[in-house]
Structure 1
Amino acid sequence: MVDADQTFVIVGGGLAGAKAAETLRAEGFTGRVILICDERDHPYERPPLSKGYLLGKEERDSVFVHEPTWYAHHDVELHLGQTVDAIDRTAKTVRFGEDGTVVRYDKLLLATGAEPRRLDIPGTDLAGVHHLRRLAHAERLKGVLAALGRDNGHLVIAGAGWIGLEVAAAAREYGAEVTVVEPSPTPLHGVLGPELGQLFAELHTEHGVRFRFGTRLTEIVGQDGMVLAARTDDGEEQPAHDVLAAIGAAPRTALAEAAGLELADRAHGGGVVVDERLRTSDPDIHAAGDVAAFPHALFGTRLRVEHWANALNGGPAAARAMLGKEVVYDRVPYFFSDQYDLGMEYSGWAPPGSYDEVVIRGDAGKREFIAFWVKDHRVLAGMNVNVWDVTDPIQALIRGQAQVSTEALADPHVPLDSLVP
C-alpha cells in the first residue's frame, strides 16, 4: 500500500489526466492527488468537439469525463485555469498559477496533450480564422457554422485530416459552403494512403464539398478585420467568410523540454520519450496521452498516438505504473470517425509505404466493408466502415501477426474469428 503522505501530481486536465486520477483512487492510493489544468472547464473528452456537440446533437455537459462534484468527492485537488511553468526535478517540485504556487511531488504525470499547428501565412490574425482543439473553440465554431448555414456563407478548411473532414461534414449539415485545401493528392493520405483516401474524397464531394488537392493556403485576405477570401499557391482565390486551420497538432513538450527530459525526434512524431511503462527519462516522471512517444514492440517503432483511445487507456496505465505495478503499454492504436451517414473504426498502424496491399472485404461502393492493410500476408491495420462489432477480431489479427490468406480476408463468408491464430 502506498504511504498516505505521498503526493502524486498530474499536469494536464484532459481525458488522460482525469482517467489517471480516477485510476489512482480506484487502485487504493490514499495520498494527495493534485490535478492541474490550464483550461477553466472541468476535464472533458475531445471527440464530441468535432462530432456530436459541434452538430448540436449532444449537450455541453455530455463531454465531461466526470461530474464536477466527482473531484471533491474523491479528494482530487483540482486546479482549473492554472498553468505549470516549471518543474524542478532535483527538488521534485512543480510551480504553477499566477501566484507561483509550489508543490512537491513523489510521482509526476505529464498529460499535457497537443496543440493545433498554426498557419504561417499572412492573415491569420483575422477574426474569422479558427482552430478546433478546446471546448471554447467548439462553442465558437458551432455558432459560426450555424451562421454560415443561415447566410449561405463559405468556410475554407486548410487540411483534409480527421478534424478537417469532420468539420466539413458538420458545416455541410448546417448548410454552409465548404472548400477544403489539401497539399496531398487525397484526404487522410498519411493515414489511409491513396486507396481509401479517395473514398472519403468521393463521400464529401457527393455532399457538396469542394476539394483543392495539391495546393496549400498562402494568404488569408481580409477587410476591416474580417475574412474575405483565401489564396492558394496555384494562384487561385477561394471565397471565404471563415477559415479553419486543421493542419495537425503538435505535442506540448515545452515543459518537459525545459525540465531536461528526453524528447523523441520528428520522425517518431516528437513528444516525450517514455518506456513501455510510460516512464520518461526521469523515473519519477511519467507521460501519457498525446504527448507521450512510447515504444510499440508489435510495430517495431516508437509511436505517438493522438487519439481518444490512447488517452482513455494511457492515463490509467501510467497511474498503475506510478503505483509500482507491472505495466506494459502496448495497446493497438484505435480511433473512430462519423461523417454524414458513414461511421468507421480503425485499428493498427500502417502509414503509406509500410504495406504491400489493401484487401477489401465487402462492398466499398456501398460503403459497407472492412479494409485490411497487409504486408507479407500479415495484417498491420484494419478499418471497418458501416460494419460493426468487428474491432476485437481485427485487433486479434493484428496482434497475432500470423500470415493469413488474402483471399480469406476478402471473403465475407469466412468468419474473421476463424483467421485469428
Structure 2
Amino acid sequence: MGSLQAEKIRQSFVTRVNEDRLMDCMRCGFCLPACPTYIHSGHDETQSPRGRIALMKAVRDGVVEWDGSIEEAFDLCLGCRACEPACPAGVQYGTLIEETRDAIVSAKDQSLKEKLIRKGAFDHLFADQRKMQAAVKLVTFYQKTGLQKVVRKIGFLELFPSFMKDMERALPEPPKRKRDSVLRSPAKTKVAFFTGCLMDTMFKETNRNTIELLERLGCEVVLPKGQQCCGALQGHSGEMERAKRNALVNIEAFDDVAFDFIVNNAGGCGAFLSEYDRLFEGESPELYAKAKRFVDKQIDISSLLVKLGIVAELEKLPSTEAVEIVTYQDSCHLRNVNGVTDEPRTILKAVQSSVFTEMPGANLCCGSAGIYNLLQPEMASKILESKMKEVKEIQASTIITTNPGCLLQMKVGVEREGLSSTARAMHLVDFIHEKIIQ
C-alpha cells in the first residue's frame, strides 16, 4: 500500500480511535481464552483482543505502517465482545473495534464495487424497511412458487460457494398464518415493540408469536410507526454516521413517556439499541436526553417474559414421557453487552415437557456475528464445526437461540451435519409459543 494511503489511515486513527481507551488495556491476557478467533487461529496473538489493541495503537502512533495483514486482523474480529466481561480493567473493546473500522472506512480508498455495495446496503436496504420487505418478498416467491425445488434439482446451487448453499438450505419457512386470537390477561403493562428489520421480514412469524405471548401475559403492545433497522450492521462495519442516522430515526419513533418498556427479541439489535446514548455523547443536551430515555426503557424479550410471570405459566403445563433435550446458544451481545444469561435458561428449565442441558461453550460465538459468516466463511465454518460437536456431545434435539443471525447459523450447522431428522434450531419465543399457545 502506498505511503500516502498509509499516512491517511494513520491520521484517521488519530482522529477517530480514542487513545485513552487504548491505554486501558494492561496486556494481562485474561481476554485470550474468551476470544474465538484467538482459539481457532492456533493462538495467534494478532487474532486476540489485546493483540488487536496493540495493532490499533501501533498504527495510531505510526510505529507500524498500514498494510493488508493489519487490515485482515481487524476484519477477522467477530465483534462478539466476549473479551469485555473477561477483562479486569473494563477495556471498552467493542467501542475500540467500531472506532477502528470507522477510521479505516473513512480513510481507505474503496473500489467502485465496494462503494456500490455499501451504498445499496446501508443507504437503501437497511435504511428503508419497505425495501427490506420487498427483498424478502422475492425470497418468499422463490420458496413458495416451486422455483426453489427446481433450482435445487438442476444443481444450480453448485455454482455458488458452499456457505451460500448452506444458507439457502437454512432459510426459514415463509409465514403460514395471520395472527391468531389468543386469551389475553387484562393489560397491566404498556410496551413498545422494536420489530427489527430481519425479524419483521424473514422472521415475521417470530414477531407475531412475540406479540401473542406478551398479550397473553397482560401487555398492551404498541408498534411505533417509522422505526427501522437498529443500525448495528452499519456500526459494526465502520459506517458510524449511517448507524447514527438510523438511531436518530428510532429514538424519535419511540419517544413516548407512556411506554413502560421498549422490548426487542433480537440479541444483537438489543445490544446496539442499549448503547444509543453512547452514539450521541457530546451532541445537544436535548438529543442526548432523548437517547438516554430510549436506552433506559430497553429490555430483551426473555427478561420481560420472566418479569411478566412466564415461568409460573410454564410450570403449570403437563409433562410428557417423550424426552426432548433442549439446549441454549447464547447471543454474544445479549450475554456480553447486556449481561443477560440466566433469564433464557430459567425459562427453558421451567418447561415440563423437555429437559434442559447446558451446551459446553454456549458462551462462545457460533460464528454468525451479523454478516461475518458471509464475509469470513472459513473462520465462521471452523467455529460452527466446533459448536456442532458440542451439540452432538449432549445429543440435543432442540437448539434455542435469541438472535436471528445465531438462529440461521445453527440451522446451517444442523443441515451441514446431517442432523435435520433429529434436531432443530428455534428462537426462544417460537419454542415457548409452541408450548403455551399452539
TM-score by structure 1 length? 0.25
TM-score by length of 2: 0.24
More helix by share: 2
Which has more strand, going by share of residues? 1
